[in-house]
């Protein structure tokens, strides 16, 4: 029996089992088994496709992957926002390879990948789907593209992403599991747990071979979230929903659609409609900021900023520039919104903000 068949049988058992307090630990154990099997499947898939299939070589300041069913307009979007020339056709499976492009925006070099259109069952290997979706696992942002007349594809793609170990628009569970050799499981939580009891937690830990550990839970965690905290294959990636070809739909239909998908960005890529807004939204979702560097005795370079993530500190910038900047660091001076006055002296732990000017002073 292959892994997918085992998963299917366990899913059937979960469906047949009524969920209540008495059965929650059993369901937790079954879900943990599925998670372990999927983790194993991912490892096998990555090792079996090594040296062939789709590869993603990351470069630039961030990486974005366009995901969607065939013929939703991903190639057109790529061509509109980057320097790429992806083949465009009004038929399915035009893109048979991963097509890269670079979007230059506010000083950032953002790598955009157009991957082949996925199909239902992609995460189980249909249409080379597992290889295709594995590219998205390495992205800093996923842009899910839907055809305006097929919005129901959103649920299908979402399920495929979940099955391949991607958790769109989620953060990692606030759970710490420190394994020990002896002593059993010691459980502590800082919040009341309304979804799980101690028996369920122990059942899941046992399924993962964890018999001695200090477990600290800082959120009212569900069974699925607790399992995710134990699964090393899970990745947490922000997702932007884009609905394309809106020029083909009438006003009443669009009003209904916007009510259902109020967080989506609506565009018509082949007409260039809302393309600039798409660029801005991608940049914002990546949480990038610009830092302008001021060498000692010189003017700040306001032409080519250093691009870092929001929340970056002086230490992060120093490390990115050169290890000697960190090794020989004395102090830094900052001009901008992150300080109280221009040229304020700061240390390595100072958090920078967009458009700050930074001068790092090192020991001579």
Predicted confidence (pLDDT) per residue in 55-83, tens digit: 566 778 899 999 999 889 999 999 999 97
Q: Point out the least confidently predicted range of 128-137, 138-147, 236-245, 315-324.
A: 128-137
In this structure, the number of other CB atoms found within 10 A of the CB of residue 285 comes to 18
Q: Measured between alpha carbons, how far is residue 306 from residues 279, 318, 351, 355 in Å?
A: 19, 11, 15, 10
pLDDT tens track for 76-104: 999 999 976 655 554 444 445 778 889 99
* Token pair in block for residue 312: 């970056």
What DSSP designation does 241 have? E
Cα separation, 143 vs 157, whole angstroms: 11
Cα separation, 242 vs 285, whole angstroms: 13
Q: Is the CB of residue 185 less than 8 Å from the CB of residue 283? A: no
Q: Measured between alpha carbons, how far is residue 297 from residues 248, 300, 359, 360, 361 in Å?
A: 58, 10, 10, 12, 11
> Which of these, 315, 305, 307, 308, lies nearest to 347 by C-alpha position?
315
Residue 49 in this model has a pLDDT that exceeds 60:
no
Residue 128 in this model has a pLDDT that exceeds 90:
no
List, in sequence order, every residue forming a beta bridge with 104; answer none if it has no partner: 109
Residue 349 in this model has a pLDDT that exceeds 90:
yes
List, in sequence order, every residue forming a beta bridge with 111; answer none if it has no partner: 63, 102
Length of the chain equals 364
Cα separation, 160 vs 122, whole angstroms: 7
In this predicted structure, what is the pLDDT of residue 52? 44
Q: Is the CB of residue 158 less than 8 Å from the CB of residue 168? A: yes
pLDDT band for position 21 (cuts 50, 70, 90): low
In this predicted structure, what is the pLDDT of residue 241? 97
- Average pLDDT along the chain: 86
pLDDT tens track for 212-224: 999 999 999 999 9
Residue 232 in this model has a pLDDT that exceeds 50:
yes
List, in sequence order, every residue forming a beta bridge with 166; answer none if it has no partner: 235
Map tokens 């839970």 to a residue. 217
In this predicted structure, what is the pLDDT of residue 163? 87
Greatest alpha-carbon pair distance for the chain in Å reads 73
Report percent pLDDT > 90 for the chain.
Answer: 55
pLDDT tens track for 237-249: 999 999 999 999 9
Cα separation, 277 vs 289, whole angstroms: 18
Cα separation, 337 vs 351, whole angstroms: 11
In this predicted structure, what is the pLDDT of residue 1? 61
């Amino acid at each position: 029996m292959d892994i997918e068949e085992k998963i299917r049988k366990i899913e059937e058992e979960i469906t047949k089992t009524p969920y209540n307090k008495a059965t929650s630990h059993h369901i937790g154990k079954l879900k943990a088994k599925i998670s372990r099997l999927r983790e194993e499947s991912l490892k096998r898939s990555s090792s079996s496709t090594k040296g062939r299939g789709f590869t993603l070589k990351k470069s630039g300041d961030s990486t974005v992957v366009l995901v969607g069913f065939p013929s939703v307009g991903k190639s057109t979007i790529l061509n509109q926002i980057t320097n790429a020339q992806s083949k465009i056709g009004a038929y399915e499976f035009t893109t048979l390879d991963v097509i890269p492009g670079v979007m230059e925006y506010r000083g950032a070099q953002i790598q955009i990948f157009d991957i082949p259109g996925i199909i239902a069952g992609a995460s189980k290997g249909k249409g080379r789907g597992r290889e295709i979706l594995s590219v998205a696992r390495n992205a800093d942002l996923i842009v899910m593209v839907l055809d305006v007349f097929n919005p129901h594809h959103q649920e299908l793609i979402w399920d495929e992403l979940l099955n391949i170990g991607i958790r769109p628009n989620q953060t990692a569970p606030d759970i710490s599991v420190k394994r020990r050799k002896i002593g059993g499981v010691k459980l502590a939580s800082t919040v009341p747990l309304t979804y799980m009891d101690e028996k369920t937690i122990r059942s899941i830990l046992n399924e993962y071979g964890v018999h001695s550990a200090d477990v600290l839970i800082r959120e009212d965690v569900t069974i699925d979230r607790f399992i995710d905290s134990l699964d090393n294959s899970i990745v947490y990636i922000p997702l932007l929903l884009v609905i394309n070809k809106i020029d083909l739909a009438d006003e009443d239909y669009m009003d209904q659609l916007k009510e259902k998908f109020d967080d989506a960005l609506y565009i018509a890529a082949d007409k260039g409609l809302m393309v600039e807004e798409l660029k801005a939204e991608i940049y914002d979702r990546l949480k990038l900021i610009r830092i302008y560097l001021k060498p000692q005795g010189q003017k700040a370079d306001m032409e080519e900023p250093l691009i870092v993530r929001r929340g970056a500190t002086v230490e992060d910038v120093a490390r990115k520039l050169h290890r000697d900047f960190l090794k020989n660091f004395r102090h830094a001076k900052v001009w901008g919104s992150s300080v109280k006055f221009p040229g304020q002296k700061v240390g390595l732990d100072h958090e920078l903000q967009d458009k700050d000017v930074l001068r790092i002073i090192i020991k001579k």
